[in-house]
Amino acid sequence: MSGRSAHRPDSADFSQEMESGQLSRVEALACLDCEHACHVMLYCDTKAQLFGRIPIRHIILMQMRFDGLLGFPGGFVNPLTETLEEGLSRELLEELGVALPISIEEHVASCHAPSSSPSSAPLITHFYGKKMEEEQIKELETAAVSTAIDHGQEVLGMVRVPVYSMKGGGGFPSFLSHSFIGRARSQLVDSLLHFNLITPDQLQEALTHSMKIHTHSSKDLQAALTLTEKKGKC
């Protein structure tokens, strides 16, 4: 969080670029009046099986954020005082308890994020993917609850993404139907394809199932609201 810049935009200059969304790393860094945030997908392969029969295949780390949304570890960086990767490592120290080194080669994409309010500076989000060993991922999970200063504050807990699908939609389809910060859901699905962690067919099936779950959740919420309103009138 400490990397947040105080600059404010000449927003008209950015409106055209914002429509297309994605931009190169060089174009992104040329925008000195933009806010910059870096996030990373940390992942590994695993031979572990759920219930001794469902291959887990990959461990992918996300986090439950302070705002109740799912997101990736990382945060605001200040390219005037640090490189994007240094800033991301600093954020990882706060959120995971380890200043994990991140290299330029691990950069996946930079995008304009939708503006949260007309008065706020345009935000560019930079996304990275880092493959690790299973033991290293487990050590990070331990550090995240024992040494990370943000634990219980800005980060409510690290979570693993279930990339397997179970009968009835459990696993990945259910996970995808939760609420995510910014572009985090797209970053997750794009990265799974980019790193060949899932096939396009598996992804399409999971997303289709996820939309059905989402519709069901919406009806569930409506029923809870109706019940609450009735109780309020008693």
- Please give the residue ranges that form the binding site for Mg ion (CB under 5 A): 75
- Name the binder of 61 from Mg ion, ligand APR, none, CB < 5-8 A by kind: none
- Provide, rounded to whole angstroms, the least separation between the CB of residue 4 and ligand APR: 6
Nearer to ligand APR, 174 or 187 (CB): 187
The one-letter amino acid code at 62 reads M
Answer whether 44's CB lies under 8 Å from 133's CB.
yes
Nearer to ligand APR, 91 or 141 (CB): 91
Measured CA distances, 200 to 17, 52, 197, 213 (Å): 28, 26, 10, 20
Nearer to Mg ion, 75 or 122 (CB): 75
Q: Give the residue from 105, 121, 101, 125 showing the smallest Cα distance to 113.
A: 125
Cα distance between residue 5 and residue 34, in whole Å: 8
- Name the binder of 39 from Mg ion, ligand APR, none, CB < 5-8 A by kind: ligand APR
Phi, psi at residue 190, to the nearest 5°? -60, -40
Interacting residues toward ligand APR by CB under 6 A: 1, 37, 39, 71-72, 74-76, 91, 113, 123, 125, 154, 181-184, 187
179's CB contacts (< 8 A; 6+ apart) are 68, 69, 70
- Name the binder of 122 from ligand APR, Mg ion, none, CB < 5-8 A by kind: none
- Name the binder of 181 from ligand APR, Mg ion, none, CB < 5-8 A by kind: ligand APR
Token digits for 124?
């560019």
- Provide, rounded to whole angstroms, the least separation between the CB of residue 186 and ligand APR: 8
- Provide, rounded to whole angstroms, the least separation between the CB of residue 34 and ligand APR: 12
Helices (H), 31-70: none
